[in-house]
């Protein structure tokens, strides 16, 4: 789960650690009201008869209204087994291509329909999900109708698919001009032997050449079903009216029949890394280095377990390499890194990894210092004061999830995908101990799981060895 938009003014958090109240649930008919008394938040949620999950987070007094329609179908969803032992394999990049193509309808591009009402629309594809959203001040009902039409009403014209293919190929090519993106893709190639996460979300030129209206139609029929979707609304709206409107729109646009049991087929990915290092050259002013560690995760992990691991590793990375540390001050002060430096951990479905690095003047020195700092962290226990300070930091980020309609909807959307309650995050984070952080670090940051990716300026021979 990514608590990405992270504002309500609230009482100091850590002084009340032992008095945390979990979210209280009240049932009002089929719509549940879920309240987090500690920081004054609430949401209303239900599952419609067609299977669509609906979550509404009222934001009283907000001018803008934000709605997001998310589907549990992403870039790594490529192989499936259907009823009758029928197997389906989609081209790499299908989820992203489908995201683009769904805006195209027989009567025009739905982006124009949103824009004509003064609303801004967009979409995104990740490794495990695709989502569409809009934000606007007025015409909420009309915009929500367009959003449902966008997700649930397919129309795949061959001529438009051919045009879109050219656009996406250019998008793919343009990414190759970004050193950080190429360093990231190179790191994924080092880590993973066969897992589809090693392939660009957009796909490849070869897979895009195989994209057809039939492939897009197959993907849409299998995964763009209301039982595989969630609607997330935030703004000055009435929850019950919004649920009623969603039910009406789902009845009009969403299919009622499930396509049967669909089994996602995952590749057998070894726990080991594919190779320890990778280097390439491209047009860039300075080298880019990423040091990554492949984590051992599986789809059997529950949402709370996954969120806890993500939070633990995030705290470890911030304690070791965060911008508020003496380590970063020294790196930056000595000119080893620029402001591009970062550290993060990511996990979805059956993969996970940590990575740290960025633009550097001296790749070898950066890798050496990163390894030295890791060794120091593993030798010296985390102090209680350091841990509590970092917890305050992530709590601040968490609270910023509720400072806008967009951020609030994204927070609930991401929690739904992860199978957790976003209101439970503070309680979970507060329970993390220094001993658990040390154990998480020892488990993940093993030398045999480390990969290094280096992008060097073209025409300048790099002597980086990144041992």
Q: How far apart are the first and last CA of the chain?
A: 33
Residue 258: per-residue pLDDT? 66
Mode of pairing for the β-strands spanning 450-457 and 108-109: unpaired
CA distance linking residue 289 with residue 180, whole number of Å = 8
Crossing angle for the helix pair 303-321 and 384-399, to the nearest 10 degrees: 120
CA distance linking residue 260 with residue 222, whole number of Å = 9
- One digit per residue, the tens of pLDDT, for the chain of length 467 reads 333 333 222 222 222 222 233 344 343 348 999 999 888 899 999 999 999 999 999 999 999 999 999 999 999 999 998 887 788 999 999 999 999 999 999 999 999 999 999 999 999 999 999 999 999 999 999 999 999 999 999 999 999 999 999 999 999 999 888 999 999 999 999 999 999 999 999 999 999 999 999 999 999 999 999 999 999 999 999 999 999 999 999 999 987 666 678 888 888 999 999 999 999 999 899 999 999 999 998 777 888 999 999 999 999 999 999 988 999 999 999 999 998 899 999 998 889 999 999 999 999 999 999 999 999 999 987 888 899 999 999 999 999 989 999 999 999 999 999 999 999 999 999 999 999 999 999 999 999 999 999 999 987 654 455 54
CA distance linking residue 454 with residue 446, whole number of Å = 20
Residue 186: per-residue pLDDT? 95
Of 312, 322, 254, residue with least CA distance to 444: 312
Contacts by 14-20 with C-beta closer than 8 Å and gap 24+? Answer: 14/388, 14/391, 14/392, 14/430, 17/430, 20/426, 20/427, 20/430
φ, ψ of residue 335 to 5 degrees: the values are 75, 15
Q: What is the 3-state secondary structure (H, E, C) of the chain?
A: CCCCCCCCCCCCCHHHHHHCCCCEEEEECCEEEEEEHHHCEEEEEEECCCCCEEEEEECCCCCCEEEEEEECCCCCCCEEEECCCEEEECCCCHHHHHHHHCCEECCEEHHHHHHHCCCEEEEEECCCCEEEEEEECCCHHHHHHHHHHHHHCCCCCHHHHHHHHHHHHHHHHHHCCCHHHHHHHHHHHHHCCCCHHHCCCCCCHHHHHCCCHHHHHHHHHHHCCHHHEEEEEEECCCHHHHHHHHHHHHHHHCCCCCCCCCEECCCCCCCCCCCCEEEEEECCCCCEEEEEEECCCCCCCCHHHHHHHHHHHHHHHHHHHCCCCHHHHHHHHCCCECCCCEEEEEEECCEEEEEEEEEECCHHHHHHHHHHHHHHHHHCCCCHHHHHHHHHHHHHHHHHHHCCHHHHHHHHHHHHHHCCCHHHHHHHHHCCCHHHHHHHHHHHCCHHHEEEEEEEECCCCCCCCCC
Residue 302: per-residue pLDDT? 85
For the chain, give every residue range classified as CATH 3.30.830.10. 14-264, 277-457
Residue 259: per-residue pLDDT? 63
Of 13, 10, 37, 3, residue with least CA distance to 391: 13
Please provide the CATH number assigned to the domain covering 14-264.
3.30.830.10
Whether the CB-CB separation of 285 and 311 falls below 8 Å is answered with: no
Is the entire prediction scored with pTM above 0.85? yes
Whether the CB-CB separation of 356 and 337 falls below 8 Å is answered with: no
Q: Which fold has domain 277-457?
A: Cytochrome Bc1 Complex; Chain A, domain 1 (3.30.830)
Hey, what are 303's tokens?
């949402």
C-alpha to C-alpha distances, 165 to 97, 123, 125, 161, 460, nearest whole angstrom? 8, 17, 16, 6, 35
């Amino acid at each position: 789960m990514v608590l990405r938009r992270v504002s309500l003014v609230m009482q100091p958090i850590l002084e009340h650690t032992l008095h945390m109240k979990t979210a209280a649930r009240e049932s009002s008919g089929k719509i549940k009201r879920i309240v987090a008394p500690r920081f004054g938040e609430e949401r209303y949620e239900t599952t419609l008869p067609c299977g669509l999950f609906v979550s509404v987070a009222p934001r009283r007094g907000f001018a803008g209204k934000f709605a997001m329609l998310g589907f549990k179908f992403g870039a790594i969803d490529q192989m499936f087994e259907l009823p009758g032992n029928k197997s389906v394999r989609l081209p790499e990049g299908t989820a992203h291509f489908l995201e683009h193509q769904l805006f195209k309808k027989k009567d025009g591009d739905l982006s124009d329909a949103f824009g004509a009402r003064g609303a801004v629309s967009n979409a995104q594809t990740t490794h495990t999900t695709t989502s569409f959203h809009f934000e606007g001040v007025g015409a909420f009902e009309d915009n929500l109708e367009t959003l449902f039409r966008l997700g649930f009403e397919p129309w795949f014209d061959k001529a438009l698919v051919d045009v879109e293919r050219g656009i996406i190929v250019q998008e793919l090519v343009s990414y190759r001009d970004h050193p950080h993106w190429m360093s990231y893709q190179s790191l994924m190639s080092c880590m993973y032997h066969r897992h589809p996460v090693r392939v660009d979300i957009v796909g490849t030129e070869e897979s895009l050449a195989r994209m057809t209206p039939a492939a897009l139609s197959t993907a849409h029929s299998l995964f763009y079903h209301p039982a595989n979707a969630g609607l997330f609304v935030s703004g000055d709206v009435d929850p019950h009216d919004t649920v009623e409107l969603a039910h009406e729109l789902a009845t009009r646009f969403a299919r009622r029949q499930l396509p049967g049991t669909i089994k996602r087929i995952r590749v057998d990915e070894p726990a080991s890394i594919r190779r320890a290092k990778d280097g390439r050259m491209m047009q860039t002013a300075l080298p880019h280095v990423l040091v990554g560690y492949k984590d051992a995760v599986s789809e059997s992990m529950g949402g709370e377990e996954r969120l806890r691991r993500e939070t633990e590793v995030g705290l470890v990375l911030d304690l070791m390499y965060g911008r508020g540390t003496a380590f970063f001050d020294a790196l930056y002060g000595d000119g080893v890194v620029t402001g591009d430096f970062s550290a993060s951990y990511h996990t979805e479905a059956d993969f996970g990894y940590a990575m740290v690095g960025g633009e550097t003047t001296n790749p070898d020195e950066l890798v050496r210092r990163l390894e030295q700092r890791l060794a120091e962290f593993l030798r010296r226990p985390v102090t209680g004061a350091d841990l509590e300070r970092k917890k305050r930091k992530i709590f601040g980020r968490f609270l910023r999830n509720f400072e806008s309609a967009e951020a609030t909807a994204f927070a609930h959307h991401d929690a739904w995908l992860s199978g957790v309650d976003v209101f439970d995050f503070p309680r979970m984070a507060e329970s993390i101990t220094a001993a658990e952080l040390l154990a998480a670090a020892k488990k993940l940051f093993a030398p045999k799981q480390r990969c290094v990716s280096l992008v060097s300026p073209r025409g300048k021979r790099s002597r980086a060895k990144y041992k």
